[in-house]
Amino acid sequence: MSTIFKKIIDRQIPADIVHEDDLCLAFRDIHPHAPTHILVIPKKEIAGVSAATAQDSVLLGHLIFTAGQIAAREGLSNGYRLVINNGADAGQSVDHLHVHLLGGRALGWPPG
């Protein structure tokens, strides 16, 4: 089932897009939890990591590689964190796979 992220991909609702290529889109989170909080999503509608198939392996790697490229461009030379929430216990709220790129401040560990 399509989510709000599909509407962002299709430009039906606005977003602050920082990167786009054939496979993915990246845009700033509407409720940022860090000075830099960007979501990197596949254009393919995959509900979450647990819904990915072996055919999606390269795509999943591309999301992480792209997040690293964006982090460098955003100047996060002091470090950053990539987070993927999957399912209810992780607090996933949008059922379209997304990588959170968080940076610009010291991040606590372990996460809640």
Q: Is 104 exposed, middle or buried (0-12, 13-18, 19+ CB in 10 A)?
A: middle
Q: Counting contacts by CB under 6 A, is residue 67 touching ligand 5GP? A: no
31 in active site: no
Q: Counting contacts by CB under 6 A, is residue 92 touching ligand 5GP? A: yes
Eight-class DSSP state of 95: S
In whole angstroms, how far apart are CA 63 and each of 18, 83, 102?
14, 12, 14
Of 50-58, 69-77, 89-97, 104-112, the window that binds ligand 5GP (rule: CB under 6 A) is: 89-97
Of 23-31, 54-62, 64-72, 102-110, the window that binds ligand 5GP (rule: CB under 6 A) is: 23-31
Using CB under 6 A as the criterion, which residues of the chain lie in contact with ligand 5GP when the complex forms? 4, 15, 27-31, 39, 85, 91-94
